[in-house]
């Protein structure tokens, strides 16, 4: 079987050593147990990395602390220039990194490329932003006084990212944090450690070429215990974490317990409302890509379709037909639509969800199942499934990170559909398919979707980096990426300057000596 250029990609990313099984780690500090990274694509060992011990972590923190002293003094536009160079290198390495993402995580090569494109886009965004870290000026109530606010970097930003977007989510955080003057310590998912090493190699080269310390970008490896080094560490004023709601609650309470800040991007339970005024073709594309893209392993994946009863059968049949066209297989082969799940634990969760929906009275209309035989040796390939269900089912209320789509029916006004859509614990992404202005505006109104993302005539997944990304309720409330998300990476300072020879007090208070 062709290796789809994986060896060449690994070489281009400086991972040939890892490929041979030599342990590596950020700044060569990591010395703990070995993590072996197996590809869900073909079950083969890709490479190994060493985990970060507590002692290693201390060294990383010292390096980061030192690097911050240099980095914070560089003018923000100069920091932007470094991020620009990083974006340039990503352009050169786009195919190689996209391939590694696809091979280590299992998403399609097109989606791997898309993820690297998101990295490039956020770099461009950050470069522009590096000249726009604006504060306000205020009019002082006292004569001869000037008042303004300015933003300073926070220091060390901890980033904990998930396997499903093994490179892009890091870049949303780090590109902004860097231009803000912060240094970053990144713990990628232990399921995709090589993507982390590849990114570190790219930024390390940029920093080296500019005589800047590598500690501006640090990498630590391991599971949640390594993440805990950061959540408990007062030297890390901000922890940005992406992952499950369960993980987010632990991170939130640990960080809040020391009055640190956390930026949480947690689970979603995203729905598309399909009204009688929807365009069927657009609905099918949006729903099918949303449900099976990345094998249903996006935070923004479509989990629920809430369809009006008058068009229910028509929409259902069109989607079932579309599912028949899906080709499941090696995601590096561009003829395939759906790749594998990340590992066998994910496969077990998928199986359990299907069992549960049946046990709760659901009706499976597109059968699932684990694929075996040639091309499916990793045991991680599953068939995208569809079940007719009710929003009140426990399993429907739950985020299953797999290609399982639930069809729900609503009757009457769109308000009823919105109620169903909001009636889950999570609040990340949502969408409505309609050409009816009243329905669209009701969905976007104060009484509409309660999610961080609400789309009209677009599916739930595939957000652009220019908007703030994140959601409400169990999704954690954080916002990453575009808009003014940069502000969380900085501390705000209000400055009042008196340029007179008097010292009048605020609020007109008299205090004569
Ligand atoms: C995630 O799944 O963690 O909107 C991020 C999207 C992507 C990002 C998803 N731009 O689907």
- Quote the ipTM score: 0.97
Mean pLDDT of the region 13-21: 68
- The yes-or-no verdict on residue 314 having pLDDT over 90 is yes
pLDDT at 21: 43
How far is ligand 1, taken at its centre, from the CA of residue 461, in Å? 6
Indicate the top mutation candidate among 116, 117, 165, 455 to test ligand 1's pocket, ranked by most ligand atoms within 8 A of CB.
Answer: 165
Task: Decide whether any atom of ligand 1 lies within 6 Å of the 171 Cβ.
Answer: no
356 Cβ partners below 8 Å, 6+ apart? 393, 394, 395
Question: Is the CB of 77 inside a 6 Å radius of any atom of ligand 1?
Answer: no
Kind of pairing, strands 238-242 and 156-160? parallel
Tokens of 399: 């985020």
- In sequence order, the 6+-apart residues with CB closer than 8 A to the CB of 325 are 337
Q: How far is it, in rounded angstroms, from Cα 50 to Cα 48?
A: 7
pLDDT in tens, 462-483: 999 999 999 999 999 999 999 9
The question of whether 265 is a catalytic residue gets the answer yes
pLDDT digits (tens, 9 = 90+) for 258-302: 999 999 999 999 999 999 999 999 999 999 999 999 999 999 999
234 CA distance to ligand 1 middle (Å): 30
Index of the ligand 1 atom closest to the CA of residue 268: 2
Helix (H) or strand (E) holding 99: helix 94-105
Atom of ligand 1 nearest to the CA of 461: 11
* Predicted confidence (pLDDT) per residue in 380-419, tens digit: 999 999 999 999 999 999 999 999 999 999 999 999 999 9
User: pLDDT tens across 80-93, in order?
Assistant: 999 999 999 999 99
* Lookup: tokens for 288: 């099918």
Pocket mutation for ligand 1, best pick of 291, 298, 402, 452 (most atoms within 8 Å of C-beta): 298
Query: The whole model's pTM is what?
Result: 0.96
CA of 287 relative to ligand 1 center, distance in Å: 15
270 lines ligand 1 (CB under 6 A): no
Spatial distance between the Cα atoms of 88 and 94, rounded to a whole number of angstroms: 10
Q: Which two tokens stand for residue 279?
A: 């365009």
Q: Which two tokens stand for residue 423?
A: 């009636």
Average pLDDT of span 22-31: 57
399 C-alpha to ligand 1 centroid (Å): 15
Map tokens 């197996």 to a residue.
Answer: 38
Burial of 334 (0-12, 13-18, 19+ CB in 10 A): exposed
């Amino acid at each position: 079987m062709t290796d789809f250029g994986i060896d060449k990609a690994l070489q281009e990313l400086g991972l040939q050593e890892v490929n041979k099984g030599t342990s590596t780690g950020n700044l060569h500090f990591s010395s703990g147990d070995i993590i072996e990274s197996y590809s869900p694509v073909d079950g083969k060992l890709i490479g190994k990395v060493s985990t970060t011990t507590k002692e290693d972590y201390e060294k990383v923190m010292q390096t980061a602390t030192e690097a911050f002293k240099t980095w914070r003094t560089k003018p923000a536009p100069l920091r932007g220039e470094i991020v620009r160079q990083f974006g340039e290198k990503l352009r050169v390495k786009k195919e190689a990194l996209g391939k590694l993402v696809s091979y280590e995580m299992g998403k399609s090569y097109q989606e791997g490329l898309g993820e690297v494109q998101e990295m490039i886009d956020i770099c461009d965004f950050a470069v522009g932003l590096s000249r726009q870290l604006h504060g306000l000026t205020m009019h002082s109530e006292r004569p001869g006084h000037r008042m303004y606010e300015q933003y300073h970097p926070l220091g060390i930003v901890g980033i904990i990212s998930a396997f499903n977007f093994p490179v892009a989510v890091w870049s949303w955080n780090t590109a902004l944090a860097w231009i803000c003057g912060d240094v970053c310590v990144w713990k990628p998912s232990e399921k995709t450690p090589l993507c982390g090493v590849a990114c570190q190699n790219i930024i390390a080269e940029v920093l080296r070429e500019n005589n800047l310390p590598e500690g501006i970008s640090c990498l630590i490896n391991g599971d949640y215990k390594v993440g805990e080094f950061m959540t408990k560490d007062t030297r890390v004023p901000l922890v940005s974490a992406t992952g499950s709601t369960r993980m987010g609650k632990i991170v939130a309470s640990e960080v809040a317990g020391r009055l640190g800040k956390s930026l949480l991007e947690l689970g979603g339970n995203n729905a598309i409302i399909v009204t009688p005024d929807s365009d069927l073709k657009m609905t099918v594309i949006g729903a099918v890509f949303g449900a099976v893209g990345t094998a249903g392993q996006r935070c923004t994946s479509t989990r629920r379709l809430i369809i009006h009863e008058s068009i229910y059968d028509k929409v259902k049949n069109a989607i079932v037909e579309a599912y028949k066209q899906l080709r499941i297989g090696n995601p590096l082969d561009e003829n395939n639509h759906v790749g594998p799940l990340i590992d066998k634990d994910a496969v077990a969760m998928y199986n359990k969800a299907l069992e549960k929906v049946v046990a709760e009275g659901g009706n499976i209309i597109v059968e699932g199942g684990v694929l075996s035989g040639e091309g499916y040796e990793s045991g991680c390939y599953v068939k995208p499934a569809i079940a007719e269900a009710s929003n009140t089912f426990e399993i429907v209320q739950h985020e299953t990170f797999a290609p399982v789509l639930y069809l729900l029916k609503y009757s009457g006004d769109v308000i009823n559909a919105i109620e169903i859509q909001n009636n889950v614990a999570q609040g990340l992404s949502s969408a409505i398919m309609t050409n009816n202005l009243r329905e669209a505006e009701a969905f976007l109104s104060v009484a509409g979707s309660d999610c961080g993302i609400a789309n009209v005539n677009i599916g739930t997944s595939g957000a652009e980096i220019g908007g703030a990304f994140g959601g409400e309720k169990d999704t954690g409330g954080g916002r990453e990426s575009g808009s003014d998300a940069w502000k969380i990476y900085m501390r705000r300072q209000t400055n009042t300057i008196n340029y007179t020879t008097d010292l009048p007090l605020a609020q007109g208070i008299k205090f004569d000596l």
